[in-house]
Amino acid sequence: MIEQTPEAAPEGEGSAVLPDQLDDLLGALSGAAVDGLSEADLLHVVTTLEATKGAAAALQARATARFVEDRDSLTQQALVREEISRRDASCRRSATRAEVALARRCSPWQADRHVGAAKALVHDLPMTMSALTAGDISESRALIVARETSCLSRADRTEADRRLAGDLSTMGDRALAAAAQRVCIDLDQEAIVERRRRAAASRHVGVRPAPDGMARLSILGPLADVVGAYAALTSAEQARYVATGDPEADAARAADERGRGAWLADTALELLSGRDEGQVQPVEVGLVMREDAVVPRAGARTGRPGDAEELADEVEIPGWGAVPGDMAREHLLRLCDTGTETWLRRLWTAPGGRDLVAMDSSRRLFSGVLRQLIGLRDATCRVPWCDAPARQVDHVVSFARGGGTSAANAMGGCQRHNLVKEEPGWRAEVISTGLDPGAGTPHTVRVTTPTGSQFTSVAAPLLGHGRAAVGHARSPMEIHYEELLAA
């Protein structure tokens, strides 16, 4: 759960009227009802609200641009006065955009795009901004124009905006992007060529969850290299239909019933992971040890919902999502059949089974078990709305300020937010350690930004959000010990 506490608006003659008007508008929209409206009125509501979203996006862009430019101006002045270094200035600019991300409830990467688009709309794309302000186009369509014209100079960008203005509200998104590219080529072909050359520097590999327990492994690279790798893979797939002269190898190929896509995917994953053909991917199993392992839950032997058999179906891949228990057991059986080594580590939870509090190190002896515990608890960045993988574990209260190196004072975060929270005006504090069974609250951190806005981040359940609540007013272990004391 994430809660936001906005900074109170200052009182007096300097108080802003616009925030109050927007609060009133939000309240009116939240309390509006559509019951009793005719079909024509319902569609009119849909159309008007679509225009309202565009006008709101334009206002949001103007506010974003003003906030960022004011902050960047102060940073630049401090840099000119040599009060800060260039590295400090870069960190302050990054922190400014991190505040925008929290305000927009999105990731910092998305906030960077929104800031760039806002500044372009305010200063370089007046026609697009006018159409957005009037509600004639959506924010996504304005972002297309800003993105496709980003390589042009300010004068050429304004000219491209003028040429596209007449078709902004009539073309589809794909047609608008294509039209913007044609205009850019006409105005500055060299800029387009240079942009595509620089794009090679952004090559990377990414993983995204997909429906039905699948995932997508994507490689963004130069066209020639990617096409060459794919051609080599497809050539190897075609070769499996060619007889080798070895009866056993030919028989094995003939018995392979995998389709072309499945064979290509299996072969690519085997090669990238370094596995032999047919070898199953090794895994480490974290076995969640609830209080049921010590005190059986009432009804655990009756077969009623909530007993141990049902809990065995709660399987989670940290940072990626849930997996059906049957699929996990099937994978483990394949590992056993092939003799592949599998590691088992016990994860101990607080009463109720929600929060991870300890783990053992039966796999091997090394000093990184505490870091691994935090990695399981904070699989993604703990700063609200940032879904980036938690690649760093750092102190919530810094060691220099007396913060201890413990699970209670640790927080997983992305590299960007780990640097941002050290900037002036940023503050983080532990509200709940999550290690006190009597408190009944998970690990909680409060982040305060330079503007005074506070954002509360509660650690996700060990087995992910969306699971049926397991906790009780009093856990079975507590009830059992109370009965022993009474006896």
For residue 83, pLDDT over 50 is answered with yes
Report the mean per-residue pLDDT for the chain: 81
Beta bridge partners of 317: 321
Alpha-carbon span 214 to 387, nearest angstrom: 19
Calculate mean pLDDT across residues 438-459: 86
Alpha-carbon span 240 to 435, nearest angstrom: 56
Do 231 and 238 meet the contact criterion of CB atoms below 8 Å apart?
Answer: no
- Band (pLDDT 50/70/90 cuts) for residue 116 is very high
Q: Where is pLDDT greater, at 275 or 338? A: 275
- List Cβ<8 Å contacts ≥24 apart for 423-431: 423/91, 423/92, 423/95, 423/450, 424/92, 424/450, 425/95, 425/449, 425/450, 426/95, 426/450, 428/396, 428/397, 429/396, 429/397, 430/396, 430/397, 431/456
Q: 163-194 pLDDT, tens per residue?
A: 999 989 898 999 999 999 999 999 998 988 88
Calculate mean pLDDT across residues 352-380: 64
Alpha-carbon span 291 to 348, nearest angstrom: 9
For residue 5, pLDDT over 80 is answered with no
Counts of helices then strands in the chain (DSSP H, E): 17, 13
Calculate mean pLDDT across residues 247-258: 82
Calculate mean pLDDT across residues 319-347: 67
Calculate mean pLDDT across residues 391-403: 81
For residue 307, pLDDT over 60 is answered with no
Residue 132's pLDDT is 96
Calculate mean pLDDT across residues 91-111: 93
Residue 306's pLDDT is 44
- Band (pLDDT 50/70/90 cuts) for residue 292 is low
pTM: 0.66
Calculate mean pLDDT across residues 414-432: 88
In the numeric block, the tokens 């794309």 are attached to 125
Residue 405's pLDDT is 77
3-state SS class at 185:
helix
Alpha-carbon span 388 to 107, nearest angstrom: 8
For residue 366, pLDDT over 50 is answered with no
Q: 255-264, 359-368, 411-420 — which is least confidently predicted?
A: 359-368
Residue 352's pLDDT is 61
Q: Where is pLDDT greater, at 314 or 69? A: 69
- Band (pLDDT 50/70/90 cuts) for residue 373 is confident
Do 406 and 319 meet the contact criterion of CB atoms below 8 Å apart?
Answer: no
Do 323 and 315 meet the contact criterion of CB atoms below 8 Å apart?
Answer: yes
Residue 317's pLDDT is 67
Residue 321's pLDDT is 62
Calculate mean pLDDT across residues 222-231: 86
Calculate mean pLDDT across residues 249-273: 85
Angle between helices 260-273 and 223-239 (to 10 degrees): 110
Q: 124-155 pLDDT, tens per residue?
A: 999 999 999 999 999 999 999 999 999 999 99
Residue 304's pLDDT is 42
Kindly state the percentage of the chain with pLDDT values over 70.
75
| HEC letters along 278-346 | CCCCCCEEEEEECHHHCCCCCCCCCCCCCCHHHHCCEEEECCCEEEEHHHHHHHHHHHHHHCCCCEEEE
Residue 467's pLDDT is 64
Q: How many residues does the chain have?
A: 487
Calculate mean pLDDT across residues 332-341: 68
Beta bridge partners of 284: 343
Do 455 and 2 meet the contact criterion of CB atoms below 8 Å apart?
Answer: yes
